[in-house]
Amino acid sequence: MTTDTPSTLGPPPPDPEATLRRHSLPSPVTFSVLVPPPADGSTRGRAGRLETPHGPVETPVFMPVGTNATVKALDPDDLREVDATIILANTYHLYLRPGHDRIARLGGLHRFMAWDRPILTDSGGFQVVSLGDLRSVDDDGATFRSHLDGSTHRFTPELSVAVQEALGADIAVAFDQPVPPHASTRSQVAEATERTHRWAERSLAAHGRRDQALFGIIQGGLEPDLRAASTRTIAAMPFDGLCIGGLAGDETPEQRGAALDVVVPLLVQDARPRYLMGLGSPVDLLEAVHRGVDMFDSVLPARVARNGTLWTPDGKLNLRNARHLDDPRPIQEGCRCRACRSFSRAYLAHLFRADELLAYRLATCHNLTFTLDFMARIRRALATGTLPDLVRDQRSGRACSRPTERRESPASSDTQAGAKGGVS
């Protein structure tokens, strides 16, 4: 891994011929809408299938996050058992350690982590621009100090794409500059959004791997006009899919919903998948699907599991509470996960108190199973035309409880593009 130094020549201009060539090339992924939104407008939710070089993905889909080429505490067999069909890996962290060149020499990310299903890599933009005093951003890119050893590095759209091409994921993401909506002024959001558009053009020009898709990122904060303009700008570029960035952060669920209500209607005639970055609580996933989003990711289910918080249809269980020490029941009656099939709440409560590593594995298996089964329930509701009923049940408190949310520092290896927290 080499350390890049800032350029003194400014950003290279995008290559218009490269963009034109991309328009004429077949996409390595295809997306088909199998169940379109109903004509009565009761929901914008839709069910689809994303075909990738490593297999199909039924949507709406939640992607567990394997930040360092692993979903913490789980191996690939565990991921298959919980029915994960696609996972996310983090470009920033893998660039720093073990290095994208090393992973490429060892056969690419799929072989490196022994995962034969689809992978999406984020661009590293969220981590880089969220490092506070450890980074500086200009039109060419971002200079930052590693949270591992303080060494200086330079990320540009071209380097981000090169790293992701070396990793070899099925889907790469264009480099962007996300900003937290509430902590940023309108002028700051506008500047970052315009820079994201320029970086999107450069990412497209730099990307040349034929067996890898490239998604662009819509920004614009909570400003309706900026969000609409960014949607139109990114949608006009030849990306294979469209990410909705700059949300799942410090905004309220109502503000997030309002932003989606700006973006999605502008994409009604667009055949590409829509990916809301960083959303992970069941309530929020359901609301976003209802508004027309297809793909999601978050560290949330796995992170809270490792803290001893388990999700059930009746709400959350904190296994560190003493009341579980003598409870012979499973975490959730009827759950198919390995924790619920074999172990009691009392046993898991003991494991957490003893700091046994098995606690993290079993708890993570449960929360990911809960989340992915909830997504399967959403897909069934779309297929049967009952998603509006499911949304009504949730809003009345009968489907899941409202989560609380928190964003972690990018220095944490748990954090990925837009990842934030909460429990249900």
Beta bridge partners of residue 35, listed in sequence order:
47
The residue to which tokens 């909460």 are assigned: 422
DSSP output for 34-99: EEPPPTT-S----EEEEEETTEEEEESEEEEB-TTSS-TT--HHHHHHTT---EEE-HHHHHHTT-
Q: Are 297 and 285 in contact (CB under 8 A)?
A: no
Q: Is 199 helix (H, G, I), strand (E, B) or coil?
A: helix
How far apart (Å, rounded) are the C-alpha atoms in residues 140 and 277? 24
C-alpha closest to that of 278 among 259, 295, 253, 302: 295
Q: What distance in Å separates the CA atoms of residue 128 and residue 156, rounded to the nearest whole number?
A: 10
Q: Which residues are catalytic?
A: 122, 297
Longest CA–CA span in the chain (Å) reads 68
Q: Comparing C-alpha atoms, which of 359, 336, 126 is closest to residue 249? A: 126
The CA R_g of the chain, rounded to the nearest whole Å, is 21
In angstroms, rounded to a whole number, what is the distance separating the alpha carbons of residues 228 and 47? Answer: 24
* Helix pair angle (224-235, 253-263), 10° resolution: 40
